[in-house]
């Protein structure tokens, strides 16, 4: 009995740690906006400080609906409303959606890697590349991403702008190869999925360590402005 309680406490502590690292103190949905046909869905890269959305809305001179949730995985997950469910929720409020700004898939790698790295996504001195289990995990998220994009196309969404992930610094540099594989798959998902016009914004090589918070994951306000400036030339013609 004592052993069971001890294991439970260790798992609870680990989950709390993961939640604190991936930023699960998210903001509520913003379901009223100037442009009800433009929505943002995704995880804490958007949601935690909100600066990407704020910057893009300032450039556009109008607001968008925002469903991003810190800690969100692409599909499923326990810490926050998943990205695919955010899309369902947005349609429930107003199904007239023409343009979607989004990210997703990063937490599907980061959350397990932050706990015990059961999939072997971190490179080590004895393992120079992510394990086959990690690649399988990424391929599963690719399928989830394609399915979501295909559903968006069926629903009549015209445009999707998908922000990829940048390299993580310092203590998370050993996740770079896994995230690079993930970005490659996300970019390919944009190419092959549905009839929606999907544009992949690839920020790799553009976000220095000084623009990443001390958690080695989330962008600082300056990093968020940097990312917004990469998104804006793609998003502006779609508004």
Lowest-confidence region among 165-179, 192-206, 210-224: 192-206
* Residue 23: predicted pLDDT: 52
**Structure tokens of 24?**
């699960």
* Residue 14: predicted pLDDT: 40
What is the reported pTM?
0.90
Domains of the chain: 2-238 (3.40.50.1110)
Pair 205, 227: CB distance under 8 Å: no
pLDDT, mean of residues 141-157: 95
* Residue 12: predicted pLDDT: 38
- What pLDDT, in 10s, does the model give residues 179-194? 999 999 999 999 887 7
* Residue 10: predicted pLDDT: 38
Instruction: Report residue 11's pLDDT band, with 50, 70 and 90 as the boundaries.
Output: very low
Instruction: Report residue 197's pLDDT band, with 50, 70 and 90 as the boundaries.
Output: confident
Whether residue 32 is predicted with pLDDT greater than 80 in this model: the reply is yes
**Structure tokens of 6?**
């001890």
* Residue 22: predicted pLDDT: 54
Average pLDDT of the residues of the chain: 90
- What pLDDT, in 10s, does the model give residues 37-90? 999 999 999 999 999 999 999 999 999 999 999 999 999 988 899 999 999 999
pLDDT, mean of residues 176-181: 96
* Residue 192: predicted pLDDT: 86
- What pLDDT, in 10s, does the model give residues 104-147? 999 999 999 988 999 999 999 999 999 999 999 999 999 999 99
Pair 21, 171: CB distance under 8 Å: no
Concatenated DSSP letters for 15-70?
HHHHHHHHT--PPPPB---SEEEEEEE--HHHHTT-HHHHHHHHHHTS-EEE---T
Whether residue 91 is predicted with pLDDT greater than 50 in this model: the reply is yes
Q: Distance (Å, rounded) from C-alpha 51 to C-alpha 181?
A: 27
Q: Where are the beta strands (DSSP E) in the chain?
A: 35-41, 64-66, 99-102, 159-163, 197-201
Q: Distance (Å, rounded) from C-alpha 138 to C-alpha 132?
A: 10
Whether residue 8 is predicted with pLDDT greater than 90 in this model: the reply is no
Calculated CA dihedral for residues 109, 85, 154, 195, nearest 10 degrees: -30
């Amino acid at each position: 009995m004592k052993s069971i309680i001890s294991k439970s406490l260790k798992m609870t502590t680990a989950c709390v740690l993961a939640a604190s690292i991936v930023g699960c103190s998210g903001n509520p949905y913003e379901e009223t906006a100037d442009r009800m046909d433009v929505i943002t869905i995704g995880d804490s890269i958007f949601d935690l400080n909100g600066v990407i959305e704020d910057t893009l809305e300032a450039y556009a001179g109008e607001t968008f609906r925002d469903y991003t949730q810190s800690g969100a995985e692409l599909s499923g997950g326990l810490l926050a409303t998943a990205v695919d469910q955010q899309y369902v929720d947005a349609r429930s409020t107003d199904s007239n959606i023409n343009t979607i700004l989004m990210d997703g898939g990063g937490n599907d790698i980061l959350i397990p890697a932050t706990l015990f790295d059961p999939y072997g996504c971190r490179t080590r001195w004895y393992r120079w590349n992510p394990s086959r289990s990690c690649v399988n995990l990424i391929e599963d998220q690719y399928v989830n991403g394609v399915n979501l994009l295909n559903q968006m196309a069926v629903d009549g969404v015209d445009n999707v702008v998908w922000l990829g992930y940048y390299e993580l610094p310092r203590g998370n540099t050993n996740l770079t190869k896994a995230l690079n594989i993930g970005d490659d798959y996300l970019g390919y998902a944009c190419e092959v999925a549905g009839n929606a016009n999907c544009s992949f914004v690839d920020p790799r090589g553009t976000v220095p360590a000084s623009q990443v918070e001390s958690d080695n994951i989330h962008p600082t306000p300056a990093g968020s402005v940097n990312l917004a400036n990469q998104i804006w030339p793609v998003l502006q013609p779609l508004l």
